[in-house]
Amino acid sequence: MSEDILLQKIRLLPDKLKKEVDDFTDFLLKKHGLAEKKKTPKFGSHPGVFKIAPDFDEPLEEFKEYM
């Protein structure tokens, strides 16, 4: 089957069924080892992106009456 014919058939589908086709193609790619592997971020891979305030561990003013 040519890609053009397949694309024409997919274009005729409603959005809900297009989503099913998308999910199924993801399944097939994964099943046959053709899907791209997702890289898991390593600890410390984005230094400086998140900043922790110096008073992070200090009690919050809102909870003062409970402490």
Q: Write down the residue that tokens 């099943």 correspond to.
A: 31
Domain boundaries, the chain: 3-66
**What is each CA distance from 8 to 5, 14, 25, 63, in whole angstroms?**
5, 13, 16, 62
Of 2, 26, 23, 21, the C-alpha closest to 10 is: 21
* Per-residue DSSP letter, 43: T
Q: Tokens in use for 13? A: 């589908």
The type of residue at 35 is A
Q: Tokens in use for 59? A: 């009690």
Each residue's pLDDT tens digit, 15-27: 999 999 999 999 9
Each residue's pLDDT tens digit, 8-53: 999 999 999 999 999 999 999 999 999 887 788 888 888 888 888 8
